[in-house]
Amino acid sequence: MARAVALLIALAGALLWAILAIVPPAARGLDAPATAFSSARAMRDVSVIGRVPHPTGSAENERVSAYLLLRMHAMGAAVEVQQMPLGAASLRRLGKWSGRTERGVIARNLIGVFPGRDRSLPPLLLMAHHDSVWGSPGAADDAMGVAAALEVARAIGERGPPERDLLLLFTDGEELGLDGAEYFFARHPLARGIGAIINMEARGAGGRANMFETGPGNGAMMRLYAEHVRRPATNSLSVLVYNNMPNYTDYTVAKRRGIPGYNIAVLDRGSAYHSPSALPEVVDPASLQDMGAQALALSSALLYAPDLPARTDDASFSDLMGRATIVYPAAGGWLILLGAALLIGFALSRERPRRTAIGRGVLITLAILLHAALLLLAFNALSGSGGANYYDRLAALPRLEAMAAATLAALLCLLPAIRRTDPHPLALGPGMVLMWAGLLTGGPIAIVPVALLAMASAWFLPSDRTAQAEGAILLLLLAGILVQATLPTAAPLLHWPLLLAAMAMAARAWLGERAALPAMALCAAIAVGHLLAQAHFLFLGIGAELSVVLVAPLFAALPLLLTLWPAKATRLGAALLLGVALMIALWVRFDPVAPTIPTYSLAEGGKKTRD
């Protein structure tokens, strides 16, 4: 009974942690102080910019450009228009959108310069793009970014002249192929002296504004972020993942030139991405507040500092509950691993488990993770992921996330059944799921070795929950070492839950399980809550096609969950959850294509080409 209470407290705490981390701060109204960011003030610009589609070369694009030039001039900026002809590839894409041959289209970058006290210091550049895709008003992508930059510049003006210049760059042709950014950074004299950049983007219209990308050598820049951003949403894993994805924004051009900076974007409400429905009323003012408040905090720190942060080694970092950011040198992960290893060694020296029991714990962890991966792959395939319209998948993201959550919850309900020594249910389970996944994904040959491992491991499953947890934490320690050695900035996702699991394990070994239950529940609440928030952001980024990535946070959570989980399987609950996942998968598969998808995406196959 005590363990069940501890588990409920841990899960409730984890859920509360995750909610606090993923909910954006409250929007601020027109009565906000003049030196503060107000989404209500910024929304007035969104309403003007994002009311109708305004692709490059259109009359509406000229209207938006004229409005932005007037806005910057009224705030005291020296304004400039940089004109450039579109390249051949961008003309072809514009022609696909318009249905006609496009020639001689001129794009226009809009530049505003707000002078600082020392004009010789490297300026700060705030960047967003003012063009939209064909057929979308673009109130989110990227009227949000443009409006946020204008409101930041206004608030800075109220604080008095900064040390260095503030530049606003509203690029054109971003949706066609980064034409404006390429032209500015290659040809404009101002581009050569820029000290730092804050780029603002959107691949949705709601949720937290994630700082998902930095320039190279980000250690000092991230320490500045941690010191000044009060409601952070960031982690070094997202930076690493984005660096290895075929996506790009305007900041990509500057990043290639080694200019340090931050890239901030909202990802939730993905149905608004490039959508005809992306009107101002779709934009969440709280998300705009989140983006702007982070940008203002960073701008203030950079503009009023006599010196900009120097380039240093990349850091490992992550926010905690969206309330603080922990930053440390990537090599510092070895110290976390050492601390965890010492705590684990202390616990094992007191509990003295049999080596065979620990080995079985490792095998059962592998079996659990395999089942999780197979179920996620199978349900995602059943939902129609292969060859589906990308934007239709984005519109289905909330349902797909619920499907994945139900799938993993069902597996957790069955954890106690995995403690049985009878191998037959588990030996049959992986085989059946593997055949199903193989038929749906077309890859049965590649997964045969994994199937054999799963079925073999089923013969050695332990019945003791402590041995399971010990095997899981040792496997997590090994994975943490491998990740630290190869991809150190990705390590916090595993290292922090590992350290908390080691602390819980040491408390149990020192105090006894019953006395240690409060400490075990607290460690589980913190670790699992953090992992739930990270899983949410990870799913928003790449989960539409790769829901199997959720196996990573599950892996990190297992050492904390296994010791608290009940001894009896909830088979009815598991069946209901799997039924829910099945219904959602079929709903997504047979639901008509979302009316929110871009009109051009059907002709282009809906493939992702940017952001």
Work out the average pLDDT over 323-327.
97
Return the pLDDT at 226: 98
pLDDT, residue 570, reads 83
* Range name among 19-28, 270-279, 562-571 with the lowest pLDDT average: 562-571
**φ and ψ at residue 347, rounded to 5 degrees:** -65, -45
Give mean pLDDT, residues 279-308: 98
199 or 454: which leads in pLDDT? 199
Beta bridge partners of 110: 81, 170
Q: Compare 421 and 474 and report the one with higher pLDDT.
A: 474
Q: Is the pLDDT assigned to residue 136 strictly greater than 90?
A: yes
* Res. 445: pLDDT tops 70: no
pLDDT of residue 419: 55
User: Is residue 490 scored above 90 in pLDDT?
Assistant: yes
Instruction: Tell me which of 98 and 206 has the higher pLDDT.
Output: 206
With beta carbons less than 8 A apart as the criterion, state whether 69 and 79 touch.
yes
Average pLDDT over residues 22-26: 97
CA distances from 96 to 472, 595, 599 (A): 53, 20, 11
Q: Are strands 124-129 and 261-268 parallel, antiparallel or unpaired?
A: unpaired
Helices within 352-396 (DSSP H only)? 355-382, 390-395
The residue-averaged pLDDT of 385-399 equals 88
d(CA 389, CA 594): 10
Mean pLDDT, residues 366-379 = 86
Mean pLDDT calculated for residue range 225-248? 93
Q: Which is nearest to 467 in space by CA: 299, 347, 594, 597?
A: 347
Report pLDDT for 359: 78
Confidence of residue 464 (pLDDT cuts 50, 70, 90): low
Q: Where are the domains of the chain?
A: 31-308+317-328, 342-592
> pLDDT band at 270, cuts 50/70/90?
very high
Indicate the angle between helix axes 551-562 and 355-382, nearest 10 degrees: 140
- CB neighbours (10 Å) of residue 169? 29
The helix (run of H) or strand (run of E) holding residue 324 is strand 324-329
Position 433 scores a pLDDT of 52
pLDDT average, residue stretch 547-567? 93
DSSP 325: E
- Helix axis angle, 448-457 relative to 424-441, nearest 10°? 170
Q: List 327's β-bridge partners, or say none.
A: 317
pLDDT digits (tens, 9 = 90+) for 105-114: 999 999 999 9
pLDDT at 253 exceeding the cut of 90: yes
Given a contact cutoff of 8 angstroms between Cβ atoms, the answer to whether 53 and 274 are in contact is: no
DSSP 235: B
Q: What is the DSSP letter of 234?
A: B
Kindly report the length of the chain: 611
**Rounded to whole angstroms, how far apart are CA atoms 282 and 595?**
15
Please state, in angstroms and rounded to a whole number, the distance separating the CA atoms of residues 517 and 563: 10
Q: 3-class secondary structure for 200-222?
A: EEECCCEEEEEEEEECCCCHHHH
What are the distances in angstroms from CA 360 to CA 249, 341, 363, 522? 47, 20, 5, 27
Cβ distance 440 to 382 under 8 Å? yes
Q: Is 447 left (phi over 0), alpha (psi -120 to 50) or beta?
A: alpha
Q: Nearest 10 degrees: CA dihedral of 386, 387, 388, 389?
A: 150
The rounded mean pLDDT for the chain is: 90
For 530, the 3-state DSSP assignment is helix
Distant-in-sequence contacts of 569-573, Cβ < 8 A, 24+ apart: 569/413, 569/414, 569/415, 569/416, 569/417, 570/413, 570/414, 571/413, 571/414, 571/417, 573/410, 573/413
Q: Determine how β-strand 196-202 pairs with β-strand 261-268.
A: parallel
Cβ(143)–Cβ(63) below 8 Å: no
Confidence tier at 298 by pLDDT (50, 70, 90): very high
> Can you tell me which residue has the tokens 């660096």?
243
Identify the CATH class of 31-308+317-328.
alpha beta
Please say whether the beta carbons of 431 and 447 come within 8 A. no
The reported pTM is: 0.91
